[in-house]
Chain A
Amino acid sequence: MHIPDGFIDAPTSVATGLVAAAGVAVALRKAGQELDEKTAPMAGLVAAFIFAVQMLNFPVGAGTSGHLLGGALAAVLVGPWTATLCMSVVLITQSLLFADGGITALGSNITLMGIVTVAVGYAVFRIVIRWAPSSARSVSVAAFLAALVSVPVAATAFVGLYEIGGTADIPLSSLLAAMVGWHVLIGIGEAIITGLTVSSVLAVRPDLVYGARGMLTKDALQLRPSLSSQTRS
């Protein structure tokens, strides 16, 4: 969902630039609270993984593809503030080095893919986890759902942004239908990739998954078995 240069007018681009800068500034302060000595390496690994997987477009329909955005995945693995940092670095690298995403559109891209997806993804994750039994499966399913929702919401946010500062005059309803339509499909791909990735990490090092904190047994090798039902998934 990388916005090229020229789509969003200058004043709106400046505004999103300020939002992005503020978001990153706060994330820089708060990320230190999410990462400890043991989990610190995860930040770089998550960012590198998201960069790599963003290169792997998958088909979602006639002549159209999608790719992982990664905000929800990052939020579950390293926490929302660190996730915003990871996403921002990925997006800035993509724009500057690979001409993927406009430079003037960086504010918009970071706002949508680095802040909205992370915030929405993390919120959905926490809501689902609150009501789910404490288990590895719950963490994976919650991550799946977080990712599933985060993508169409980000697409909707794009439409909102475009209505405010888009350079062409496009009817809102048709733009919304088109964006949400494609991005519901892309969200399914995002959810599958997110769920699989989180399950994989949980299977070998659950203690490195930020979203699984508070669910670990004392020796931190396994997730605490669910009290009411069968344990290991």
Chain B
Amino acid sequence: MKAKVSTKAFAVIAIVVCLALAGVVSYYAANTPDGLTRVASDHGLDDKQKNHATDDSPLAGYNAKGVADKRLSGGLAGVAGVVVVLAVVSGLTYVVRRRRRDDMPQD
């Protein structure tokens, strides 16, 4: 019988994969505009485009400001994003489940 991969091992592997994708592989991603951006420039949708309010964010554009090396700059931004998203959703999940447990004690 096939040994089951523990949830903890699964989670660790998944997180490592996410960090590798965002932190390393992202450097090699295509840097051409995406579909919407392309259509926007072809058809003039971006005539009215406004500057982004958080363009001054230290991670704006998926580059860590102040880090000269492009690869490292992008990698750090990716890693930061993975960590933030993981933490926020995990926290939300905890709250959502806790609230449900409180509402329905026999769950």
The answer to the question of A144 belonging to the interface, with a C-beta cut-off of 8 Å to chain B, is no
Residue from the list B10, B48, B61, B93 in contact with A98, Cβ < 8 A: B61
Taking CB atoms, residues of chain A closer than 8 Å to B47 are 167-168
A residues with a Cβ closer than 8 A to B are 1-7, 28, 31-33, 35, 38, 40-41, 43-49, 51-53, 55-60, 63-67, 82, 85-86, 89-90, 93-100, 102-103, 155, 158, 162, 166-168, 170, 174-175, 178-179, 182-183, 185-186, 204-205, 208, 221-222
Cα–Cα distance between A93 and B82 once the two chains are bound (Å): 10
Contact A89/B53 with A63-B33, A221-B1 known, Cβ cut-off 8 Å:
no
Counting chain A CB atoms within 10 Å of each CB, which of B42, B54, B89, B93 scores highest?
B89
Taking CB atoms, residues of chain A closer than 8 Å to B86 are 44-45, 47-48
Which residues of B74-106 have CB atoms within 8 Å of chain A's CB atoms? 77-78, 80-82, 84-90, 92-94, 96-97, 99-100
Evaluate contact between B53 and A5: CB separation under 8 angstroms. yes
The answer to the question of B5 belonging to the interface, with a C-beta cut-off of 8 Å to chain A, is yes
20 residue pairs of the A-B complex, CB under 8 angstroms, read: A1-B34, A3-B36, A4-B50, A5-B52, A43-B90, A44-B93, A47-B88, A55-B22, A55-B78, A64-B35, A65-B33, A85-B92, A85-B96, A93-B85, A93-B88, A97-B81, A98-B60, A99-B52, A158-B36, A183-B35
Taking CB atoms, residues of chain B closer than 8 Å to A167 are 45, 47-48
Name the residue on B nearest A56 (C-beta). B29
Contact A45/B35 with A32-B96, A89-B88 known, Cβ cut-off 8 Å:
no
Which residues of B33-61 have CB atoms within 8 Å of chain A's CB atoms? 33-36, 38-40, 42-55, 57, 59-61
